[in-house]
Structure 1
Amino acid sequence: MPVAAPVLTAPGGIAWRDGKRYMWLTAVIVPLLAIVSYGLWHRTGLGVHWWITPLFVFVGVPLLDISTPADSVNPPEEIRAALEADPFYRRCTYLYLPLAGIGLVLGAAAWAGGDLSPAARVGAVISVGTVTGVGITTAHELGHKRARRERWLARLMLAPTCYGHFYVEHNRGHHVRVATPADPASARLGEGFWRFWPRTVVGSLRSAWSLESRRLRLRGARVISLRNEVMLGWLLTAVLFGSLAVAFGPSVLVFLVAQAVFGFTLLEGVNYIEHYGLARARTADGRHEPVTPRHSWNSDAVTSNLALYQLQRHSDHHAHPTRRYQVLRSFEESPQLPAGYATLLLAAYLPPVWFRLMDDRVLAHYGGDLSRANVHPPRRRALAARYRA
C-alpha cells in the first residue's frame, strides 16, 4: 500500500497534507539514471545507454510537463513553520550530493577505461554534466540556508562544475542587482543566449571576486586566504579533480572539464530564462525599486518544479530567499512562462526561436512600453522600430 503523507496541523485547527511529498524525490532520478547508465553500459558494452539521462531531462520531463495540468496551489501560510521543520524535505536535497558523486566517479572511470566510442563519450559528458548542472540547483537551495551543514553541502555540490564562486555571487550579487542592467545573470530583451553566456560567466566570476575581496578587506583579513569563499571553491574543485586524475589518470581531466562546462551552461540557461527582459524601475531617489513578484518569470509546470526543487516559483524565492522549496508560493501577478525550464532550455539555446517565443511576452508584461524593459543596448534601435511598427 502507498504511504500517505502525514497531515500537518497549525494553531487554529488548520490541517494540510502535501500530496506531492514523496514526488519531491524526482530530482534524485537524474543522478540515479547516470548510475544506471554506467551499469547498463558496463554490462552490455552499448554506449547508447549514456544517453538515458539527457533523454529523461530534455524529452521525458517536457512531455510530462505538457501532459500534466499546471499546479498553482500554495500551502496555507499557517502550515509554513511545520512544513519547513519537517526533516524529510531537507533529506531529499541531502541525498542528491552522494548520488551525484557516484555518478561523477563512474563517468570518470568509464572515460579513463578507453572503451567508449566517440558517441558514448559525448553521451557520458552530457549525462554527467546534466547531473552536476542540476546539482547546482540543489546547491542553490542549500546555499541560501543558515545551517552550517547545508552551506557546506552547497559548497561541495558546486565543486564538480568549477562554480564555487556561485555561492558568493548568487547570494550577495544577483539577489541585490536582479532585473537591472548591472546584473550579469539577468538576461536582456533581444540578447541571445550565446551573447549572454560569456557576459554572465565572466561577469559573475568578476563580481564574486570583487564582493568577497571587499568583505575580507572590511574585516581586516587577507584576500588571498581560505577565508575567501571564491578561493575555497577553487580549492574544492582542485582537490576533487586532482583526486580523480590520480585515481584514473590525467586523461580524465578532459572529461571533468567538459562535463563542468556542460553543467554550468545548464545553470546559465536557467539564469537566462528566469529574468529575461525584466527590469526594476528607478524610484525618485535614483535607486531601483524593491524586488517584487513581477521581476521573475514563473512556471507552475509540475514535473519541472519537482525536479528542480520548485525553482520555477522564482518570484517568491527572490522576495524570501531563505524560504524552503516546499513552501514557495505562486503569485498571480508574476509573469508566466509558456512552459517549464526543461522545455524552454532548448529554445533558449536557439535565439531566433527564443525571441519569437518570448519577446512579445516581455512587451505585453510592460503594456507595450519598451522603455520599461531591460533591453540589450545593441538591439534597442531595432526593437524600437519593430514594436513601433
Structure 2
Amino acid sequence: MSATLSSAGSRAEARAWQDGKRYLWPLALVVPVLPYVAYGLWHRFDNALAWFLTPFLVYVIVPLGDWLIGEDAGNPPADREAQLQSAWYYRILTFLYLPLQFGSLVLGAWAWSQPNTNAASRIGMIISVGIVTGIAINTAHELGHKREEVERWLSKIALAPSGYGHFYVEHNRGHHVRVATPEDPASARMGESFYRFWPRTVWGSLKSAWELETKKHRLRKRSPWSLRNDILNAWLMTVVVFAALTAWLGVGVLPFLLAQMVFGFSLLEIVNYLEHYGLLRQRTATGRYEKVEPVHSWNSDRLSTNVFLYQLQRHSDHHAYPNRRYQVLRTFEEAPQLPGGYATMIVVALFPPLWRRVMDPRVRAHYDGDVLRANLTPKLRAKYEAEAVAARA
C-alpha cells in the first residue's frame, strides 16, 4: 500500500512540476540580437565601443551572472520528459537563432564596407559577429543530433558562416565515438594548452570528418565527390553566402568574413578544450574503451551560461543520450564539475599557467591521485611513468 501511495505521489508531483527556466530560454537569442543594437549605437554616436557590447555580455555579464545567480541542479521528472521533448516552444527557440545569426552577419559585413570605418570598429565587428557565429555552432550542435531531416539541414545552414560544415559529420560520427580518448582530436589532454590544442583539433577534426564521409560513400560504391557528401554540401553553403556578400559589397569584405569565421570556430574549439580536458575512458579486459559515462565530461550547473547555451554545460547527459533535447538534459552527481561556468572557463583557458593551476589538480582528484589514468600529453605521460618506475625501484 505504501509503495502504491508513494508512486501516486510521485506522479502527482511530476504533473505539478513546471519548467522554471521556460521563460529564461529566450535569453539564448540575446547574443545574435546584440550586433543590431551595436550597429544602432555605432551609427548614432560614431563610437567604436558600441561594437564591443556583445563580448562584454559574453565575457563579463554572463560570467558575473554565473557567480551571482549560482547553480541550478534540478532535473525534470522522468514522467514529464516525453512531454518536454515534444514541445515545439523549445524547438522554435533554436530555429529563431538562424535568421538573427544571418542578419547579424549581413549587417556586420555592410558596416565593415562603409567608408571611414576605423580599425577599432572593425575589430569590434569581427569579435561581435564572430561570437554570434561561434555560438551558432552550438545551435547547429543541438539541431544536428536530431532525427528530423529539417533540423539536420538547419544545422548545416547554421554552420555556413563559420565555414565549419564538416563539424556536422565529425561531431556526430567521430567525436561521440572517440570522446575522452587519445584518438579524439576534440578531447584535450592534461598538460596541453589551448594554443597547442587548437591546431591539433582544427586539422584533426577536418581530417577525421573527410575520412568518415569518404568511407561512407565508398561503402555505398559511389564517389565522395558529389553533393550527397555532407561535408561538400555544407561547405557549398559557406561559399554561396560569402560569394553573395562579396558580389554585393566587394572583395574588401572578405577579410571580415574570414576573420569572423576563424573567431567563430575558435570559440567552438575552446569550448571543446574545456569539455573533456584530461578525462580518459579506460580500457576494458577486451581491449576496447569503456562505455561513455557521465564521468567523462566536465559539467557545470551555472544557470546563467546554461540558458545562453541551450544547456550545453550538461554535457555528460548529452554524450550518454545524444538525441535528448536541451530542455530535458540532466545533471549527474558523479560527473566532474568545473569550478565556473563555460563563459568563465573560456577566459581562464586563454591563460595556460592559470588554467593548469585551476584544472590539473581537479583532474588528479577525479582519478584519486592516479594521474596515469588521465588523458595526458605524451610528454607528461612519459614523465609520470618514469616517476612511477623510480618510486617502485
TM-score (norm 2): 0.94
**2:197 equivalent to 1:196:** yes
Aligned to 1:20: 21
CA deviations 1:131-180 (Å, max 9, x no partner) are: 00011000000000011111111000000000000000000000000000
Q: CA deviation at 1:48?
A: 1.0
Aligned to 1:222: 223
Deviation of 1:69 (Å): 2.2
How far 1:359 sits from its partner (Å)?
0.2
Deviation at 1:380, TM superposition (A): 2.6
Query: Residues 260-301 of structure 1: CA distance to partner in whole angstroms, max 9, x if unpaired?
Result: 100100000000000000000000110000000000000000
Distance (Å, rounded) in 2 between the aligned partners of 1:383 and 1:96: 46
CA distance in 1, matches of 2:110, 2:30: 21
Shift of 1:12: 4.2
1:109 and 1:293, CA in 2 relative to 1: closer, same or farther beyond 3 A?
same
Q: Which residue identity is paired with 1:287?
A: R
Alignment of 1:96-135 (within 5 A): 96-135=97-136
Q: Distance in 1 between matches of 2:342 and 2:208?
A: 26
Kindly indicate whether the alpha-carbon contact (under 8 Å) linking 1:47 and 1:116 is maintained by their aligned counterparts in 2: no
1:291 is paired with a residue of what secondary structure?
coil
Q: Residue 246 of structure 2 aligns with which residue?
A: 245
Q: 1:386/1:325 Cα in 2 relative to 1: closer, same or farther (>3 Å)?
A: farther
Q: CA RMSD in A?
A: 1.6
What SS does the corresponding residue of 1:21 show, helix, strand or coil?
A: coil
Highest Rg: 1 or 2? 2
Specify whether residues 242 and 358 from structure 1 end up closer, same or farther in structure 2 by C-alpha distance, changes over 3 A only: same
Aligned-residue offset at 1:374: 0.4
Mapped to 2, the partners of 1:90 and 1:156 lie a distance apart of 16
CA distance in 2 between partners of 1:346 and 1:114 (Å) = 34
Distance 1:382 1:121, change over 3 A: farther
Residue type of the partner of 1:317?
H
Which AA in structure 2 matches 1:32? V
CA displacement, residues 191-227 of structure 1 (integer Å, 9 cap, x when unaligned): 0000000000000000000000000111112110011
Match of 1:317?
A: 318
Q: 8 Å contact 1:370–1:384 — kept in the other structure?
A: no
1:78 equivalent in structure 2:
79
Matched residue type, 2:380: R
Q: Counterpart amino acid of 1:225? A: S
Please give the secondary structure, in 1, of the residue aligned with 2:155.
Answer: helix
DSSP-derived class of the 2:23 partner = helix
**Do residues 174 (structure 1) and 200 (structure 2) align?**
no
Q: SS of the counterpart of 1:167?
A: helix
- Secondary structure of 1:18's match? coil
SS of residue in 2 equivalent to 1:52: helix
Given the superposition, is the C-alpha separation of residues 186 and 24 from structure 1 closer, same or farther in structure 2, using an over 3 Å criterion? same
Post-superposition Cα deviations, 1:229-276, rounded to whole Å, max 9, x if no partner, equal 111111110000000001111111100000010010000000000000
Determine the C-alpha separation between the residues in 2 that align with 1:210 and 1:326: 33
TM-score (norm 1): 0.95
2:360 aligned with 1:363: no
Aligned residues of 1:190 and 1:383 also touching (Cα < 8 A): no
CA distance in 2, matches of 1:166, 1:383: 34
Residues 1-389 of structure 1 aligned to structure 2 (within 5 Å): 12-13=11-12, 14-15=14-15, 16-382=17-383
**Cα distance, 1:110 vs structure 2:** 0.6
2: distance between equivalents of 1:353 and 1:148?
A: 43
Give the deviation of 1:117 after TM superposition.
Answer: 1.1
Q: 1:23 to 1:251 in 2, by over 3 A?
A: same
Superposition deviation, residue 349 in structure 1: 1.4
Conserved 8 A contact 2:372-2:384: no
- Structure 2 residue aligned with 1:3: none
- Rounded Cα–Cα distance in structure 2 between residues aligned with 1:384 and 1:157: 44
CA pair 378-248 structure 1, distance change in 2 beyond 3 A = same
1:381 CA drift (Å): 4.1
CA contact (8 A) 2:275 2:298 kept: yes
Query: Is residue 372–residue 381 contact of structure 2 (8 Å, CA) maintained in 1?
Result: no
SS in 2 for 1:128: helix
Counterparts of 1:306 and 1:67, CA distance in 2:
15
Percentage of identical aligned residues: 58
What is the distance in 2 between the residues matched to 1:257 and 1:374?
33
Partners of 1:213 and 1:379 in 2: how far apart? Answer: 34
- For 1:385 and 1:264, the matched residues in 2 are separated by 37
For residues 385 and 36 of structure 1, what CA distance do their matches in structure 2 show?
A: 57
**Structure 1 residues 364 and 126: alpha-carbon distance in aligned structure 2, compared to 1, 3 A threshold:** same
Q: Report how many aligned residue pairs link the two structures.
A: 380
Distance 2:302 2:386 in 1: 34
CA distance in 2, matches of 1:303, 1:176: 30
Q: Which amino acid aligns with 2:305?
A: S
Match of residue 3 from structure 2: none
CA distance in structure 2 between the partners assigned to 1:264 and 1:116 by the alignment: 25
- Measured in 2, the distance between the counterparts of 1:91 and 1:289 equals 36
Query: What SS does the corresponding residue of 1:154 show, helix, strand or coil?
Result: helix
- Pairwise CA distance, 1:47: 1.4
| Aligned-pair CA distance for 1:26 | 1.1
Q: SS in structure 2 opposite 1:251? A: helix
